[in-house]
């Protein structure tokens, strides 16, 4: 079976990085190695991405005490948590099989692990069981060093809208980290990390965001999915308040005439915001030395 799907291969070729991607493919497995299982057993939160019952992509956060993630036989990940009741993915994850992309990230050590597969609810209904299809680690580039802890869920309900408010635009403008969920449109979902200096995630209007696609491992899992399917979901943590901002919409890649330069444009369809239940980190982070300086966006040229 091919390691990369058609969209990933197309972006690799367009970026003239197919040879580098072929070398990186050796890091992709279908089972969780022992060293990764040990890493997962110490984590307190997991980012998950999936399509809701209406087909919209969302990125959500699951939290628990260390040990809430457990690996069995290499191909099974038990997740001892469910989304909050008003999370956009509660119904699809809690009721039956779902195609899910997951990301475990430890900002304090800049380690991250990607686990993609299908989940089913636990018999008791208080967790999920994932059968893995893709497992791989990523380099520590663009991860800001901080030590966040999950915050208790508030009693206030989520606030929904079809556009970003001024406060939400402010959060976007000062963010140095967000997570993005995408799909290949058929058999796969993925959750990924994006990081950079504050301002790298730009809000052009209450319904239009963009971010630069920085140099990475040449796999192009996110851009490859967008090549095939524009649906995407963003999760923006507010490290200062412990709140979460979830946004679903459609994304496209804008290709520059300058070699290696790409931008992703994201059109907002729906916004969900909660004041707590996210991740709280005291003080400023130690920014990654790989973060490029934030520069004005180039004019749009070509896109897919």
Cut 0.85: pTM above it: yes
**Dist. CA 115–CA 23, nearest whole Å:** 20
Tell whether the torsion through CA atoms of 231, 181, 240 and 93 is positive or negative. positive
- Would you identify the CATH topology of the domain 6-289? Pnp Oxidase; Chain A (2.30.110)
Return the pLDDT at 1: 45
Give 299's pLDDT tier (boundaries 50, 70, 90).
very low
**Dist. CA 239–CA 219, nearest whole Å:** 29
Give 187's pLDDT tier (boundaries 50, 70, 90).
confident
Give 295's pLDDT tier (boundaries 50, 70, 90).
confident
Q: What is the mean pLDDT of residues 117-142?
A: 93
> Which residues, including other chains, have CB under 8 Å from residue 116's CB and lie 6 or more apart?
100, 101, 102, 132, 133, 134, 135, 188, 189, 190
Pair type for strands 111-121 and 208-212: unpaired
Return the pLDDT at 8: 97
Sequence ranges of the domains in the chain:
6-289
């Amino acid at each position: 079976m091919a390691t990369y799907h058609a969209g990933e291969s197309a972006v690799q070729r367009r970026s003239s990085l197919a040879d580098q991607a072929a070398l990186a493919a050796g890091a992709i497995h279908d089972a969780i190695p022992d060293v990764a299982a040990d890493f997962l057993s110490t984590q307190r939160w997991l980012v998950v991405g999936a399509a809701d019952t209406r087909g919209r992509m969302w990125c959500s956060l699951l939290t628990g005490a260390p040990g809430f993630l457990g690996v069995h036989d290499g191909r099974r990940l038990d997740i001892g948590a469910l989304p909050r009741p008003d999370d956009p993915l509660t119904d699809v994850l809690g009721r039956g099989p779902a195609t899910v992309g997951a990301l475990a990230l430890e900002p304090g050590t800049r380690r991250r692990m990607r686990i993609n597969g299908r989940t089913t609810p636990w018999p008791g209904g208080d967790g999920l069981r994932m059968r893995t299809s893709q497992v791989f680690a990523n380099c520590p580039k663009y991860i800001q060093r901080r030590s966040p802890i999950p915050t208790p869920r508030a009693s206030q309900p989520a606030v929904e809208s079809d556009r970003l408010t001024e406060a939400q635009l402010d959060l976007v403008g000062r963010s140095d980290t967000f997570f993005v969920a995408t799909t290949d449109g058929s058999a796969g979902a993925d959750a990924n990390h994006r990081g950079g200096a504050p301002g790298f995630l730009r809000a052009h209007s209450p319904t239009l965001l963009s971010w630069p696609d920085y140099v990475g491992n040449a796999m192009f899992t996110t851009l490859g999915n967008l090549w095939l399917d524009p649906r995407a979901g963003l999760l923006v943590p507010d490290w200062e308040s412990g709140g979460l901002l979830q946004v679903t919409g459609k994304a496209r890649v804008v290709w520059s005439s300058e070699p290696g330069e790409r931008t992703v444009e994201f059109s907002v369809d729906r916004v969900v915001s909660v004041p707590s239940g996210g991740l709280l980190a005291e003080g400023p982070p130690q920014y990654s030395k790989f973060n490029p300086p934030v520069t004005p966006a180039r004019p749009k040229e070509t896109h897919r």
